[in-house]
A and B are shown apart, each in its own frame.
Chain A
Amino acid sequence: MTIPKWKYRKNPEDGGFQATFVTSAAAELELEPDWSDDPTSTGFQVRPATQVPESHVTEPPLFVPVTESTSKPIEASIEITLAGDING
């Protein structure tokens, strides 16, 4: 992937989603090997950020984990009682 670009990893310290922007090949080489071009390699479900940081408005899209959304996931529960097999 061409530079500049975003790199991603699962933060080894707190397990959170971590993104960094590299602007040169030298800067990329300095990164630890767990940084990846693929945001999904972190194990997080991701979506393109709706707002790219102001300093990078002209740069490639940043991905953020869906769990960083301002909305909590809507929860669903399934409970099925099989009917017709027993008559009480």
Chain B
Amino acid sequence: MGKSNLKRSWRLRWNIFKALVGLIIEDWMFRTGLIMGASKLNYSQAAEQAQLNGTTTTVGNAGTLTIFSGAQPSSTVGADGTVVCGPFTLGTPFAPGASAALPSVLSPTLPSNVNSTTSVQPVWWRVKTSGGTAVLDGSAATSGADMTIGPPTAGQPVAITTWTITSGNSGH
């Protein structure tokens, strides 16, 4: 074996050694949690549709929607705020079936107008079952919130004009 071939052989062995050590270290870091993998969940169209229809089932018939001022609690277990408007009586059922699409869309039946009780800017809203169990709540503001609404006038009606709940996007 010539000198140059001998050098090449040692370089090859060194590279293989480095690659193996790299793989072992990477595997060890994954196992110990030192490398955090990004979540890349994908749900099927049927799974997303079922998730939205599950919301309809959970809210049930004649649920309620109430709009509040004050800070929104960190979960649906938290106490209600100060009522700005409501409760609106929701549909029976809460919504027709979610769309068979990706993303799937749920369009709850729009409630009748309800008069506002105060003239302050709403901050959040909550949907409950007819029995008063909170199911979901969200933010309310003039823009950039789950509910787009400006300050109402006490005694004047508030109309829910559109309502859509959309599943996440598909694919990563």
Q: Is B14 an interface residue (CB 8 A)?
A: no
Q: Which of A31-85 contact B (CB under 8 A)?
A: 45, 47, 66-67, 69, 71, 73-85
Please indicate the chain B residues that have their CB under 8 angstroms from the CB of A80 in the complex: 138, 146, 164-166
Please indicate the chain B residues that have their CB under 8 angstroms from the CB of A77 in the complex: 147-149, 160-163
Which residue from B122, B125, B168 sits with its C-beta under 8 Å from A81? B168
Known: A82-B165, A87-B172, A88-B172. A73 touches B112 (CB 8 A): no
CB-based contact B168/A79 at 8 Å:
no
Please indicate the chain A residues that have their CB under 8 angstroms from the CB of B150 in the complex: 74
Q: Is B115 an interface residue (CB 8 A)?
A: yes
CB-based contact A79/B146 at 8 Å:
yes
CB distance from A50 to the nearest CB of B (A): 9
Please indicate the chain B residues that have their CB under 8 angstroms from the CB of A82 in the complex: 51-52, 165-168
Which residue from A45, A78, A84, A86 sits with its C-beta under 8 Å from B157? A45
**Total interface residues on B, using CB and 8 Å?**
46
CB-based contact A73/B156 at 8 Å:
yes
CB-based contact B147/A69 at 8 Å:
no
Q: Is B40 an interface residue (CB 8 A)?
A: yes
Please indicate the chain B residues that have their CB under 8 angstroms from the CB of A87 in the complex: 38-41, 172
Q: Is B155 an interface residue (CB 8 A)?
A: yes
Known: A78-B138, A80-B166. A45 touches B160 (CB 8 A): no
**Total interface residues on A, using CB and 8 Å?**
22
Known: A71-B153, A77-B161, A78-B162. A85 touches B148 (CB 8 A): no
Q: Is B42 an interface residue (CB 8 A)?
A: yes
* Assembly CA distance A75 to B108 (angstroms): 16
Binding site for B on A (CB under 8 A): 45, 47, 66-67, 69, 71, 73-88
CB-based contact A73/B168 at 8 Å:
no
Q: Is B129 an interface residue (CB 8 A)?
A: no
CB-based contact A74/B159 at 8 Å:
yes
CB-based contact B162/A79 at 8 Å:
yes
CB distance from B48 to the nearest CB of A (A): 7
* Assembly CA distance A73 to B48 (angstroms): 34
Residue of B nearest to A77 (CB): B162
Interface string of B28-43 (1 = CB under 8 A from A): 0000000000111111
